[in-house]
């Protein structure tokens, strides 16, 4: 039986687990520093984290797929962190928008750097509700100017929900759209990108990742193709993908210029060193015209 659509996202918690796992890596080689991720894990996630902490090993398939997926997620997150930090340092951010925020902790991790810049976290009510319950109980989170906006991307108007929550039309915005687009239809992806473009100032920036169907004959590529079927069984099927070679044209038609794009090789070169990343996904930074 598929999970109910109104249940908190399993993939959001899995991504949170990956960030928590990275926190076990020695500081000198750690790609991402997220001391708050472990707070949002359920019993299974905590058990997995404790197991890795005790054994030093992540259980994985013979294809070594799981560690590669973890590496991609933490490198993707670091890429977006770096882009956000650069935008904040340049003074070009009036507000931060996290679309499909899941258990994102940037509002707290960047609290000092944000200096009061508002962070709008948009997510499905079920996942946002679970996160809110945890935040209410946690005493170790720093103060943050954070607003939660409940949106079902397939049903609700993003514009209406954001404006009602105090989002400033035409404000200089840094938008994060991480781990979401692959679960939406093509039309929903385009509608969301258009909506963000229409409600933010020119030169606002948007960081997003995209899934694509790898055509390699190696085992890792084959495992990635099979991964889409696994996500379908978990109730969060992959619906949208676009190849890196086509992504500039795709976002260009929606009013964006591509500033940076990192696939597997570039993420490894920038952040991972000898650690291998997952094929079939890439992360981008674009700017609204």
What local confidence, expressed as pLDDT, does residue 58 receive? 65
Give the position of tokens 């949208």: 240
Residue range 137-166: mean pLDDT, rounded: 90
Establish if 4 belongs to a structural domain. Answer: no
Establish if 1 belongs to a structural domain. Answer: no
User: Of 198, 197, 215, nearest to 206 (Cα)?
Assistant: 197
Token pair recorded at residue 148: 């939660």
Q: How many domains does the chain have?
A: 1
pTM (two decimals): 0.91
Establish if 254 belongs to a structural domain. Answer: yes
Q: In what order do the strands lie in the sheet with 205-211?
A: 146-150, 119-123, 95-99, 173-177, 205-211, 281-288, 256-262
62-107 pLDDT, tens digit each: 445 678 889 999 999 999 999 999 999 999 999 999 999 999 999 9
Establish if 110 belongs to a structural domain. Answer: yes
Q: Which position has the higher pLDDT, 7 or 36?
A: 36
Q: Collect contacts of 163-171 with beta carbons under 8 A, ≥24 apart.
A: 163/199, 165/120, 166/118, 167/95, 167/97, 167/120, 167/199, 168/94, 168/95, 169/199, 170/199, 170/200, 170/201, 171/94, 171/95, 171/200, 171/201, 171/204
Establish if 79 belongs to a structural domain. Answer: yes
What local confidence, expressed as pLDDT, does residue 67 receive? 86
Q: Which domain holds residue 156?
A: 10-288
Establish if 58 belongs to a structural domain. Answer: yes
Residue 3 has pLDDT above 60, yes or no: no
Mean pLDDT computed over every residue of the chain: 89
- The total number of residues shown for the chain amounts to 289
Establish if 195 belongs to a structural domain. Answer: yes
What local confidence, expressed as pLDDT, does residue 68 receive? 86
User: Of 268, 280, 267, 278, nearest to 211 (Cα)?
Assistant: 280
CATH of residue 245? 3.40.50.150
Establish if 38 belongs to a structural domain. Answer: yes
């Amino acid at each position: 039986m598929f999970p109910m659509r109104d249940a908190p996202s399993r993939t959001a918690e899995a991504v949170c687990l990956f960030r928590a796992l990275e926190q076990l890596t020695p500081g000198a080689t750690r790609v991402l520093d997220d001391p708050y991720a472990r707070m949002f894990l359920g019993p299974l996630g905590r058990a997995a984290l404790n197991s890795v902490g005790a054994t030093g090993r992540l259980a994985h398939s013979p294809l070594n797929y799981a560690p590669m997926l973890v590496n991609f997620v933490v490198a993707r997150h670091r890429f977006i962190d770096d882009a956000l930090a650069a935008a904040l340092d340049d003074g070009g951010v009036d507000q931060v928008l996290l679309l499909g925020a899941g258990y994102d902790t940037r509002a707290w991790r960047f609290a000092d750097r944000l200096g009061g810049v508002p962070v709008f976290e948009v997510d499905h009510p079920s996942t946002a509700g679970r996160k809110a319950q945890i935040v209410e109980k946690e005493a170790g989170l720093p103060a943050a100017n954070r607003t939660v906006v409940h949106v079902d991307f397939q049903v609700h108007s993003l514009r209406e929900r954001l404006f009602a929550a105090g989002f400033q039309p035409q404000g200089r915005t840094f938008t994060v759209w991480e781990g979401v687009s692959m679960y939406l239809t093509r039309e929903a992806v385009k509608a969301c990108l258009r909506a963000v473009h229409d409600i933010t100032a020119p030169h606002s920036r948007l960081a997003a990742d995209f899934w694509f169907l790898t055509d390699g004959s190696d085992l890792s590529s084959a495992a990635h193709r099979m991964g889409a079927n696994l996500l379908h069984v978990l109730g969060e099927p992959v619906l949208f993908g676009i190849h890196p070679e086509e992504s500039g044209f795709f976002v260009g038609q929606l009013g964006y210029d591509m500033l940076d794009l990192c696939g597997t090789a570039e993420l490894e070169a920038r952040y991972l060193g000898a650690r291998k990343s997952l094929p079939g996904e890439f992360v981008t930074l674009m700017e609204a015209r």
